Structure 1
Amino acid sequence: MSDPRDPSGKNPPGEPSLDDYLIKDPSSFALNLARMIEQAGKAASAWIEPREKGLKNDLLADPMTDMVKTLSKLSEYWLSDPVRALEAQTRLFSSFLAIWTNSIRRMAGETTEAVVTPDPKDKRFQDEDWTKNAFFDFLKQVYLVTGKWALDLVERTEGLDDHSRLKATFYVRQIINAASPTNFILTNPELFKETVASNGLNLVYGMQMLTEDIIAGKGDLRLRQADHSYFRLGENLATTPGKVVARNDLAEIIQYAPTTEKVFERPLLICPPWINKYYILDLSPEKSLIRWLVDQGHTVFVISWVNPDARHADKDWEAYIREGIQFGLDTVERRTGERKINAIGYCVGGTLLSAALALMAREGDDRVKSATFFTTQVDFEDAGDLKVFVDEEQISALEKAMFSEGYLDGMKMLTAFNMLRSSDLIWPYVVNNYMRGKDPLPFDLLYWNADATRLSAANHSFYLRNCYLENRLSRGKMVLAGHRISLADINIPIYSLAAKEDHIAPAPSVFTGSQCFGGDVTYVLAGSGHIAGVINPPQKRKYQYWTGGKAEGDLQDWLNNAQEHPGSWWPHWQEWIENKGAKKVFPRHIQSNDSDVLDDAPGFYVRLHT
């Protein structure tokens, strides 16, 4: 019988090769495994040491406790009725049987169709052996079928309230993402082949990186999503020329240098979220919204929030409004002589701005003449997956942890945001860094994402309770500075931008919230997500946006009648803002002897790391 392989000893084209899975140098492989175990011990020590010294307490606000309680409700429903449990098991085993039968037929040389295939957007199963190798194809299909079955159990569980169902779906999805065969060396053909090819050296490098990242996180894993050594604030990030022209305990105000012969009479104040640093709006020059705004003729001021510590424990929303937004407005007025000001708020910075405008309406402060909100929620009834972390029990536990320190550690919030898209923001980097032993690529957006900030205890507690838990802002029940404020009191023109694939401020939630304001609202829906939908320079010619009528009724009905436009929404906003006040004046240059100048942009506060 002839040998089916070619003279080189390799399998025919299209057939998987076993050579790639065979260890060629057992002694080197064994040595590297020993080195890996040694590095793993160092990683374990880095994790244990701060706990032995009492610097870490994992019992406070531990999300694992809530996950176990939530999934226990799920298990109780399915296991309490033998018929129901048998029916669920039968559905799963019938799928397994179909996969097994196909595998047997395939081994016999028959052509079969997969019982289940990955979503085309799923990047995890791109290696050809996931399809060509019968073993890995079997693992892939079993995993996909089991994951679908588990999510189906949540959907079919009766008696769960909406919040418990949301939490159960979220936690089950986290387990599914964590259990993917792509996350383990022996069940991932690409990892397996790389490990064999390097004689396990990739695992040594991976454990070294794991140790470094636990040390960097002071006992917690600070997952690297980008090459941090590449970026320098003020050099290749946050490079738009400007000066810090005011500073207090909570914020710096940055004024940017003009680049046009004339500027709009109305200056522009930007309120970014305090959960992250402001320079998401001033990344590399070609991505910088701030630079683009300056080049359109705007006199741009930005609030740069301090990275709070225990001294800021009692800084609540009123403090952030008085010492942040109104401090910024005072600075703009002093620097330009203008009382008519345009304002922009991004994410929770927009939520704060909306509350500030409602308070200012009650107090007779009418300096803001138009407001723009980027992916901003003011109605939190359908606030998406972040509500998983918000109920009375979890908030109380979190408050206990926060008020003992005076703040919430930035890594806690970063982890929560990453979990919203763990299949994109956690597990690919776990695999790349700690199993493949490769440094992540330099990516400005992910560098910014990892540059976490702490959250002052009073501020974060007020936000969680008044917005996520009780939804007081949209209901006109929020109390600030002794006033019960209402968004209906805000009668200025508003530009409300949502992002279609936003996991943090879902587009339907932003749409509903846009109906709470008393003035004219222009609702615009951008393509992509919470960041890419906003930071979308026109020259990139990426994504699209939709415009339509008033934000009334249901988002899908609005979208059915909306007009789609290719590319960035930035020029559309520019046209909108010009219609609110197109008069121009001479530029407001910052003089070299300006006594207000405290520092060059990007300032001091943005450099305060967690």
Structure 2
Amino acid sequence: MVDRATHAAIARVTQGLSPSALTLAYLDWALHLSASPGKAATLVESALRKSAEFARYATECFSGVNGETFCLEPAPNDSRFRAEDWHKPPFNVFAQGFLMAEQWWREATTDVRGVTAHHERVVEFAARQLLDMLSPSNFALTNPEVIQATAQQGGANLLRGAINAAAEISRSLAKQPAEGAEAFVPGETVAVTEGEVVFRNRLIELIQYTPKTGKVRPEPVLIVPAWIMKYYILDLSPQNSLVRHLVDQGFTVFMISWKNPDENDRDLGLEDYRKLGPETALQVIDAILPGRPVHAVGYCLGGTLMSIEAAALARRAPDRLASLTLLAAQTDFHEAGELMLFIDESQLTFLEDMMWERGYLDTKQMAGAFQMLRSQDLVWSRMVREFLLGEKQKLNDLLAWNADATRMPYRMHAEYLKGLFLDNDLAEGRYRVDGVAVAIEDIACPIFAVGTETDHVAPWRSVHKINLIGDTEVTFALTTGGHNAGIVSEPGHRHRSYRLATKRAADPYLAPDEWHAKAAVQEGSWWLAWFDWLGARSGAPVAPPAMGAADKGLHPLGPAPGAYVLQP
């Protein structure tokens, strides 16, 4: 009890990061580096070589010999130094000095013999975070874009930036939503696809959407979103609502809307989420549409949970699902990307004790972890734009949804991180449903899986592993965009493309990079390919169903989007 309280108190200061985990990683790296004279000599040689190269470059730049070229180019995804003025002295010198230091620290924190892979990634990540903070692009006196804007506007940009910073701090302290979020209210401007809540329990509301076509496909679609987010990312504005497009295509759509848990829900576990979520939703759908197989769709954590349910159904009701679609959802967490940096025994113990005190994981800790994964884009570049250039980014529906965060119950989140992320129980056959181990290999219905190219939450190569562990027909789509924007990829969205290929059970497995080289790029939205895929696995259109099932006590409880999505 005392240990838990102590850890929770420390967590409030460290924002949930375990000092012990970070210290162990640095000690592992430092001790092995100190015992590696060859590596140390290589680093000294690299530092001297880079210093000489930097001195030569700076001399040429200031003497006018060098034009406007970098001797060390930024990474392709690094947009900090793309502006033309960064290629002119003295700013090109600032940029080159930073890039060389960044390269040297990457050399210093990697390839040290004996350091565990996890500790190496932690140290490299921490060094990168510190360097990102010290980038010359983050400071007014070393950023040519800020200097130019200040000269042209007489400092008005800095005044606007100070106002923006004060407003953000004020909103944060008052726990108010982001500026402009009032324009995106579920049920008014977003989440406006017509439907009814036809069922409610302590954890979910099940929404049935109103048919828009004279006839519909006989197989209904059940969408299980992640409970780390509110469901309406899949029902944003009318033009980019996946739900609306599905309904317009003649599908009967059901959506789970999760309750936003509080301290009273601390003991809800992962199995509670499965039973009260997809298992119950499928039972309700069967009452409304008896005997009809379902097209199950899961997004992010909802996809992982729906995969577990599908694996369990493979034993007791193998014909219950017509298909399974996984949107940016992982089933094998062995290589789950940089989120794994925050997951080891030490960090999990610390995180559990922090959640134990409150009964849930607060939205700030979750948002902070995701921001750290892309601090260059989500933190520092935004601060430069809003606080130094004075350019306030206008909130759109996706950004407003992203700020509408949710909490995670203590028990469920601890079980999820330990059992799935850390121990990888699902992929390795140890995850149990009702006391019986389930396996992804048992799923027999066809699978459509979507990965996104720049996903920092569910890296596409990790999502691609469904091709390896699945033992059925798998169609894999890789689309441009990130974890959210790549999924919300409606027809007509500019600069969108995707790759698509189907692996049948007897086909040889292709590793991610081999798959990528073989699958041709197709312009446009992957939604259209998915609609065709669903249609090919659906029966002939029939009359649309009633809303709910009055004869079985399933009366409409109120219009969509329901009550749970409105919970703060």
The one-letter code of the counterpart of 1:334 is A
2:205 is paired with a residue whose SS is: strand
Equivalent-residue separation in structure 1 for 2:26 and 2:175 (angstroms): 29
The one-letter code of the counterpart of 1:187 is T
Q: What is aligned with 2:90?
A: 135
- How does the TM-score come out when normalised to structure 2? 0.90
1:96 is paired with a residue whose SS is: helix
Equivalent-residue separation in structure 2 for 1:106 and 1:524 (angstroms): 47
Match of 1:214 among 154, 167, 172: 172
Q: What is aligned with 1:605?
A: 564
Q: Note the 1:447-458 alignment, pairs <5 A.
A: 447-458=400-411
CA contact (8 A) 1:547 1:564 kept: no
**Residues 338 and 94 (structure 1), Cα distance of their counterparts in 2 relative to 1, 3 Å cut:** same
Q: Note the 1:196-345 alignment, pairs <5 A.
A: 197-198=154-155, 200-217=158-175, 227-345=180-298
Deviation of 1:253 (Å)? 0.6
CA contact (8 A) 1:60 1:401 kept: no
The one-letter code of the counterpart of 1:605 is Y
Mean CA deviation greater in 137-146 or 60-69: 60-69
**Residues 63 and 443 (structure 1), Cα distance of their counterparts in 2 relative to 1, 3 Å cut:** farther
Match of 1:586 among 534, 543, 551: 543
Mean CA deviation greater in 366-375 or 293-302: 366-375
Match of 1:546 among 481, 500, 513: 500
CA contact (8 A) 1:549 1:558 kept: no
Q: What is aligned with 2:513?
A: 556
CA contact (8 A) 1:206 1:436 kept: no
Equivalent-residue separation in structure 2 for 1:126 and 1:209 (angstroms): 29
- Larger gyration radius, structure 1 or structure 2: 1
Q: Note the 1:25-424 alignment, pairs <5 A.
A: 57-58=12-13, 61-63=16-18, 66-79=21-34, 84-85=39-40, 87-112=42-67, 113-132=69-88, 134-195=89-150, 197-198=154-155, 200-217=158-175, 227-364=180-317, 366-424=319-377
CA contact (8 A) 2:356 2:410 kept: yes
Equivalent-residue separation in structure 1 for 2:304 and 2:36 (angstroms): 46
CA contact (8 A) 2:218 2:292 kept: no
Asked which structure has the greater RCO (Cα within 8 Å, sep 6+), the reply is: 2
**Residues 56 and 600 (structure 1), Cα distance of their counterparts in 2 relative to 1, 3 Å cut:** farther
Equivalent-residue separation in structure 1 for 2:458 and 2:374 (angstroms): 14
Equivalent-residue separation in structure 1 for 2:120 and 2:28 (angstroms): 10
Equivalent-residue separation in structure 2 for 1:278 and 1:130 (angstroms): 42
**Residues 523 and 83 (structure 1), Cα distance of their counterparts in 2 relative to 1, 3 Å cut:** closer
Q: What is aligned with 1:526?
A: 479
Deviation of 1:388 (Å)? 0.7
**Residues 517 and 262 (structure 1), Cα distance of their counterparts in 2 relative to 1, 3 Å cut:** same
2:426 is paired with a residue whose SS is: helix
Match of 1:498 among 451, 468, 493: 451
CA contact (8 A) 2:467 2:503 kept: no
1:439 is paired with a residue whose SS is: coil
CA contact (8 A) 1:548 1:559 kept: no
Q: What is aligned with 1:27?
A: none
Deviation of 1:68 (Å)? 4.4
Deviation of 1:605 (Å)? 1.1
Equivalent-residue separation in structure 1 for 2:531 and 2:14 (angstroms): 49
| Cα deviation 1:293-348 (Å, max 9, x = unaligned) | 00000000000111111111111121111111122112222233343211101111
Equivalent-residue separation in structure 2 for 1:322 and 1:170 (angstroms): 38
Equivalent-residue separation in structure 2 for 1:446 and 1:521 (angstroms): 32
2:110 is paired with a residue whose SS is: helix
The one-letter code of the counterpart of 1:579 is A
Deviation of 1:495 (Å)? 1.4
**Residues 388 and 252 (structure 1), Cα distance of their counterparts in 2 relative to 1, 3 Å cut:** same
Equivalent-residue separation in structure 2 for 1:213 and 1:69 (angstroms): 37
The one-letter code of the counterpart of 1:467 is L
2:525 is paired with a residue whose SS is: coil
The one-letter code of the counterpart of 1:309 is D
CA contact (8 A) 2:211 2:252 kept: yes
- Given the alignment of the two structures, is residue 565 of structure 1 paired with residue 522 of structure 2, yes or no? yes
Q: What is aligned with 1:575?
A: 532
1:104 is paired with a residue whose SS is: helix
CA contact (8 A) 1:254 1:304 kept: yes
Deviation of 1:601 (Å)? 1.5
The one-letter code of the counterpart of 2:170 is E
Equivalent-residue separation in structure 2 for 1:565 and 1:532 (angstroms): 18
Q: CA RMSD in A?
A: 2.7
CA contact (8 A) 1:528 1:543 kept: no
| Cα deviation 1:419-439 (Å, max 9, x = unaligned) | 222211121222233444443
CA contact (8 A) 2:326 2:449 kept: yes
Equivalent-residue separation in structure 2 for 1:319 and 1:404 (angstroms): 21
Mean CA deviation greater in 90-99 or 239-248: 90-99
The answer for unaligned runs of 5 or more in structure 2 is: 1-8
Deviation of 1:121 (Å)? 4.0
CA contact (8 A) 1:238 1:284 kept: yes
CA contact (8 A) 1:545 1:568 kept: no
Equivalent-residue separation in structure 1 for 2:449 and 2:159 (angstroms): 51
Equivalent-residue separation in structure 1 for 2:171 and 2:148 (angstroms): 25
Equivalent-residue separation in structure 2 for 1:189 and 1:60 (angstroms): 33
Deviation of 1:260 (Å)? 0.8
CA contact (8 A) 1:362 1:483 kept: no
1:264 is paired with a residue whose SS is: coil
Q: What is aligned with 2:465?
A: 512
Equivalent-residue separation in structure 1 for 2:11 and 2:418 (angstroms): 26
The one-letter code of the counterpart of 2:111 is R
Deviation of 1:142 (Å)? 0.6
2:465 is paired with a residue whose SS is: helix
Equivalent-residue separation in structure 2 for 1:476 and 1:531 (angstroms): 29
The one-letter code of the counterpart of 2:140 is I
Equivalent-residue separation in structure 1 for 2:76 and 2:344 (angstroms): 35
Equivalent-residue separation in structure 2 for 1:371 and 1:244 (angstroms): 23
Deviation of 1:55 (Å)? 12
CA contact (8 A) 1:206 1:435 kept: no
CA contact (8 A) 1:499 1:533 kept: yes
**Residues 83 and 563 (structure 1), Cα distance of their counterparts in 2 relative to 1, 3 Å cut:** closer
- Given the alignment of the two structures, is residue 439 of structure 1 paired with residue 392 of structure 2, yes or no? yes
The one-letter code of the counterpart of 1:288 is S
Q: What is aligned with 2:419?
A: 466
Equivalent-residue separation in structure 1 for 2:420 and 2:266 (angstroms): 19
The one-letter code of the counterpart of 2:525 is S
**Residues 373 and 212 (structure 1), Cα distance of their counterparts in 2 relative to 1, 3 Å cut:** same
Equivalent-residue separation in structure 2 for 1:84 and 1:524 (angstroms): 42
**Residues 60 and 506 (structure 1), Cα distance of their counterparts in 2 relative to 1, 3 Å cut:** closer
CA contact (8 A) 2:197 2:556 kept: yes
